[in-house]
Amino acid sequence: NLKDMVRRSAAVRSTKHGVHRGMSSVTIPPPACMLRPLEVPFRYLFGPGPSNVPPRILAAGGRPIIGHMHSEMFGIMNDIKKGIQYAFQTSNNMTLAMSGSGHTAMECAVFNIVEPGESVLVAINGIWGERVAEIAERMGAKVHTLFKTPGGHFTNAEIEQALAKHKPVLFFLTHGESSAGLVHPMDGVGDICHKYNCLLLVDSVASLGAAPLLMDQQNIDILYTGSQKALNAPPGTAPVSFSERACHKMFNRKTKPVSYLLDMTHLSNYWGNDGKPERIYHHTGPVSGFFALRESLAILAEMGLENSWSHHTEIAEYLWKGLEDLGLKLFIKDKDLRLPSVTTIAIPEGYDWKELLAYIMKHHRIEFTGGLGPSVGMVLRIGLMGYNCNKANAAMALAALEDALKQCRKSKA
């Protein structure tokens, strides 16, 4: 049997060196599941991410591996940097992609900019502000918060009042709050931050490529996004960019950042951004992930940012109208504040939202999701991003939802 075979093969004798290993110390047999082929179902990922990856990006990720320190890899990283500069609309030299999901960029920004004891202001109107507040708290910052329930947004006057009161070194705002389906107005926020000598950190994970955002023109100091939303690459890389003002704060610290992996003094060298003639090993970047990210940024560049923005808006409006025709209420009342990439629907009265989602997954192979963090139990979320963003998919999503509303019984309560 299998156990005996493992035992016999490991009872090795080496006469040359006089080594006798005797009975093997391997007592755990190969797991049965690992002796079966990998099985992954096909699903329409119409939730808030990850989104379906187009064949062209899958093919790029499947290219043969090269070394993370090869000159050709550095060339690909340079391309990625230029692609991010275009997507972010920035000329910042300190532009790169993190080896990890959006949370990695989130932590990188906070860990490198803020020192223990410094004041940070976080706008919370969904889950992402909650996360940043916790990250800043964990590394010893004095965290102050501006709070609104999901779907709420902050006026520039409210932001200015809080900046004047708390005098933070960093203010965090989510551009695309995917847990609530809200896109936050950005005009003037950067100017107010700079008036109070504060850096502006913005999360655009759910909004980049889907809603207009201009890093340099809107005076954003640190901007990050994720690879798996409108960019349609697999999860695992996270573009981020730092302004000159952010770099000045970051590279004149009294203390080292709490994370070695996310330390920008090392990462800036790995990405060829520190002006030094040689790149020195810091960590092994996700080579295949970078191939896929480069391809996704190339697709965005070919399409053009303005075209991508208007396309996402057009499909979102088609979806919104279809949802209203089904008698559903959109969670964000003001059209201008709706995130084009992730639409939130108020849970229809009398329905069990979990039952609706399970029915749609089982009978239509479509993923929609419920809320996240503070929006759980308040909304259903439909995401149509990048490759998934077209009328045929919007129509398929509407038909699946209509079917579920007919088939899932309303509760008697």
For 297-308, give one letter per residue: b (16+ CB within 10 A) or e: bbbbeeeebeeb
What DSSP element (H or E) covers 122? strand 119-124
Instruction: State the Cα–Cα distance between residues 190 and 195, nearest whole angstrom.
Output: 9
21 confidence band (pLDDT: 50, 70, 90) = low
pLDDT digits (tens, 9 = 90+) for 235-261: 999 999 999 999 999 999 999 999 999
Residues 200 and 176 sit within 8 Å (Cβ to Cβ): no
> What percent of the chain clears pLDDT 90, i.e. is strictly above it?
93
Neighbours of 309 (CB within 10 A): 18
What is 3-41 written as a DSSP string?
HHHHHHHH--EETTTTEE--S-S--SPPPGGGGS-----
The per-residue pLDDT of the chain, averaged, comes to 94
Residues 299 and 232 sit within 8 Å (Cβ to Cβ): yes
More confident residue, 142 or 7: 142
pLDDT digits (tens, 9 = 90+) for 320-361: 999 999 999 999 999 999 999 999 999 999 999 999 999 999
* Matching fold, domains 55-302 and 305-407: no
Record the pTM: 0.93
- State which amino acid sits at residue 82: K
- What are the sequence ranges of the domains in the chain? 55-302, 305-407
Hey, is 63 helix, strand or coil?
A: coil
Residues 155-169 have a mean pLDDT of 98
Least confident of 18-27, 55-64, 89-98, 310-319: 18-27
24 confidence band (pLDDT: 50, 70, 90) = confident
Task: Summarize the chain as % helix, strand, coil (round to 5).
Answer: 40, 15, 45
Burial of 76 (0-12, 13-18, 19+ CB in 10 A): middle
Residues 297 and 57 sit within 8 Å (Cβ to Cβ): no
pLDDT digits (tens, 9 = 90+) for 357-411: 999 999 999 999 999 999 999 999 999 999 999 999 999 999 999 999 999 977 6
Residues 386 and 51 sit within 8 Å (Cβ to Cβ): yes
Backbone angles phi, psi at 135, to 5 degrees: -60, -45
pLDDT of residue 8: 52
Which residue, among 352, 384, 388, 385, has the nearest Cα to 370 in the 3D structure? 352
What is 332-345 written as a DSSP string?
--SGGGB-SSEEEE
Neighbours of 108 (CB within 10 A): 25
Instruction: State the Cα–Cα distance between residues 233 and 289, nearest whole angstrom.
Output: 8
Residues 222 and 202 sit within 8 Å (Cβ to Cβ): yes
pLDDT surpassing 80 at residue 12:
no
pLDDT surpassing 50 at residue 38:
yes
279 is in an annotated binding site: no
pLDDT digits (tens, 9 = 90+) for 101-138: 999 999 999 999 999 999 999 999 999 999 999 999 99
Q: What is the CATH number of domain 305-407?
A: 3.90.1150.10
Burial of 126 (0-12, 13-18, 19+ CB in 10 A): buried
Instruction: State the Cα–Cα distance between residues 290 and 178, nearest whole angstrom.
Output: 25
Instruction: State the Cα–Cα distance between residues 98 and 108, nearest whole angstrom.
Output: 8
pLDDT of residue 402: 97
Whether the CA torsion 167, 172, 173, 179 is positive or negative: it is negative
pLDDT of residue 411: 64
Radius of gyration for the alpha carbons in the chain, expressed in angstroms and rounded: 24
Q: What is the CATH number of domain 55-302?
A: 3.40.640.10
